[in-house]
Structure 1
């Protein structure tokens, strides 16, 4: 069979052609356990259809490299780079900031046993930020204390484990979040307890990452008070159980906000969160449901709690912008990237 080819700006060649039309804009589009090798064409297709990425998660499992992704109708100009090594991650960051595109999500996963990074940028996204990668546990904890004291709020806290060593990729922004709670080294039982604790306090999960370290599955999660609404969370799901949960949540008016694959696991498992925004002054909570898989206890990580400051005035965004997803094969170490004043 022939290969898909873009005719944007050109003419369609003569003879029989199968046309892949743009997708109709729904309120969101999500895929889980998506093969990394097929992502490029879907990136181009969905961005050309008027969507932008709101969630991306890289992971390996069952001998393959995969992504989880959530798309929504675009509300401005944006770009994303996915599956790149540390050197290219730094380069694309520098290029984005120079063009006034600023990060809203950063992720790291292991593909073929090597660190691979992803980031989503939006044009003129307001608020100061700081993005760091390749941090040890000690560096990540010290950075948390320093930045929270300066009024920053954690937006993403992604972790990988290579050769028994954890490395953190973290993004902080000055944004409205109300009270928030973050922790990066929880077992499945500890994550269950954290969900219940935060739901009781009126906080919903905003970021989630799952990684395998020393033979155990660990969770990194960020909960925040704003925006207010009702959340559903499940973990330890196989593909069919996730699909069933997705359909049930959709029928009840919930929309998938994030899905994380168990990076480095021998089989594909997922943890996910659905959210339904509340009307003003409404408070709602829902207890997380446990999936079929569980992990044994392991030493807990340090607990970090803080409060956020209000975000700066939002700058109006212009037309949607799309750039290509980027792939690479080399690998480098990481360090502090940048802080914008």
Structure 2
């Protein structure tokens, strides 16, 4: 299933893919990066016990970046340590489970201009404490990913200390709770800018970030089966929308 956000705006050339195996994603990554594209959003999820990916690429050059997928907790931490020592910071993180193991896909950019903090493989209570800690120091949440490992919800997240419009974030929501929050915040002028779905037991859970900003027309959907997502993608593309965020999650064995 998929959750996604589109807006009707100009921007660099872009490409999007979904339902890719690890090898297919790597091939797509290699082909598109040689054409000047770079990943700006990647979602990992498990289908039939196999890692599967959805991603958005944009054709833009700066800043220098590094991207990884399919990393274990230990390997992700090693890459995180290596890259941050070299002046990179994480700008996108996706946690997901394959079997009983957590895996990570991430994008780093070389930029030391802003304060930031990042955490991964933390439970809901720890995520809430970290959220309160960093927002209390003037940071805002810029990326959040929920996933379930061995029956327990886990989170990965990135905060940055920068000027920001009013924003809201929620996590651990059922589909009904997410829709209620979506409706309430939309009525207050907020638009969802990131949504992440994952399977928890036999139901989906969601985490999302909203911003109170004026902007172009936008659309958001969740709980779309693969065929429905493709139909919405094709329809909105013809109407001039571009995909801004996509999250894949597996709900049915």
Q: Same fold (TM over 0.5)?
A: yes
Separation of aligned partners in 1, 2:163 and 2:61? 18
Secondary structure of 1:127 counterpart: coil
Measure the CA separation in 2 of the matches of 1:257 and 1:321: 15
Q: Cα RMSD (Å) of the superposition?
A: 2.3
Alignment partners' CA distance in 2, 1:321 and 1:272: 21
- More helix as a share of residues: 2
3-state DSSP class of the match of 2:84?
helix
- Say which SS state the counterpart of residue 134 (structure 1) adopts: strand
C-alpha distance in 2 between matches for 1:185 and 1:322: 31
Match of 2:47 among 98, 103, 111: 111
**Matches of 1:137 and 1:193, distance apart in 2:** 21
Pairwise CA distance, 1:99: 1.0
Is 1:253 the equivalent of 2:189?
yes
Q: CA deviation at 1:321?
A: 11
Structure with bigger RCO (C-alpha 8 Å, 6+ apart):
2
Q: What residue is the counterpart of 2:217 in the other structure?
A: none
Alignment equivalent of 2:138, drawn from 202, 211, 219: 202
The alpha-carbon distance between structure 1 residues 177 and 252, as it changes in their structure 2 partners (threshold 3 A), is farther
Unaligned runs of 5+ in 2: 215-239, 244-253
- Relative to structure 1, the CA distance from residue 276 to residue 176 in structure 2 (aligned partners, 3 Å threshold; closer, same or farther) is farther
CA distance in 2, matches of 1:181, 1:168: 17
Corresponding residue number in structure 1 for 2:2:
67
CA contact (8 A) 2:87 2:112 kept: no
Secondary structure of 2:168's match? strand
Relative distance call for 1:224 and 1:322 in structure 2 (3 A) is closer
Q: Which residue of 1 aligns with 2:211?
A: 275
User: Does the Cα contact within 8 Å between 2:12 and 2:60 map onto a contact in 1?
Assistant: no
Alpha-carbon shift at residue 176 of structure 1 (Å): 6.8
**Gap change, CA 1:131 and 1:82, over 3 Å in 2:** same
Does structure 2 conserve the Cα–Cα contact (< 8 Å) formed by 1:159 and 1:220?
Answer: yes
Higher strand share: 2
**Offset at 1:270?**
1.3
1:234 to 142, 147, 170: 170
| Aligned counterpart, 2:31 | 95
Deviation of residue 322 (structure 1)? 8.2
TM-score for both structures, normalised by structure 1: 0.59
Match of 1:213 in 2: 149
1:182 to 115, 118, 125: 118
Q: Give the count of matched residue pairs.
A: 217
Q: Deviations over 1:90-123 (max 9, x none)?
A: 1111111111111112221112332111221111
Determine if contact 2:114/2:161 at 8 Å carries over to the other structure: yes
* Residue in structure 2 matched with residue 62 of structure 1 by the alignment: none
Q: Bigger CA drift: 167-176 or 115-124? A: 167-176
Q: Deviations over 1:7-57 (max 9, x none)?
A: xxxxxxxxxxxxxxxxxxxxxxxxxxxxxxxxxxxxxxxxxxxxxxxxxxx
Task: Choose from 85, 91, 104 the match for 1:149.
Answer: 85
1:251 Cα deviation (Å)?
2.2
CA distance in 1: counterparts of 2:171 and 2:86, whole angstroms: 33
Q: 1:129-149 CA deviation, whole Å, 9 max, x = no partner?
A: 111122121111111111111
Paired position in structure 2 for 1:80: 16
Which residues of structure 1 form unaligned runs of 5+?
1-65, 279-319, 324-341
Deviation at 1:240?
Answer: 2.3
Q: Tell me the equivalent position of 2:104.
A: 168
Displacement of 1:127: 0.8
**TM-score normalised by length of structure 2:** 0.78
Flag the structure with larger Rg: 1
